């Protein structure tokens, strides 16, 4: 039985990451993204305005307005 000493299992915690200080957090969405999402939600909300689910979309629309 031979053991390969050249390879080792990938360390998922540090694989591909530099050691030291953590990278700065970056936002996932930009302000422009929130405007686009808000417009899309409003368009959908107008389509389903008689549906009971429209209340949830209305709330989402207003929350997106506070973020962007």
HEC assignment per residue over 7-65? CCCCCCCCCCCCCCCCCCCCCCCCHHHHHHHHHHHHHHHHHCCCCCCHHHHHHHHHHHH
Residue 56 counted as domain residue:
yes
Residue 16 counted as domain residue:
no
Residue 55 counted as domain residue:
yes
Reported as a single tens digit per residue, the pLDDT across 25-58 is 999 999 899 999 999 999 999 999 999 999 999 9
Domain range for 53: 31-67
pTM of the model: 0.61
């Amino acid at each position: 039985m031979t053991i390969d000493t050249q390879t080792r299992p990938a360390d998922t915690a540090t694989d591909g990451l530099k050691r030291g200080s953590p990278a700065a957090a970056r936002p996932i969405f930009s302000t422009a993204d929130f405007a686009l999402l808000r417009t899309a939600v409003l368009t959908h909300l107008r389509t389903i305005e008689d549906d009971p689910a429209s209340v949830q979309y209305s709330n989402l629309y207003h929350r997106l307005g506070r973020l962007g």
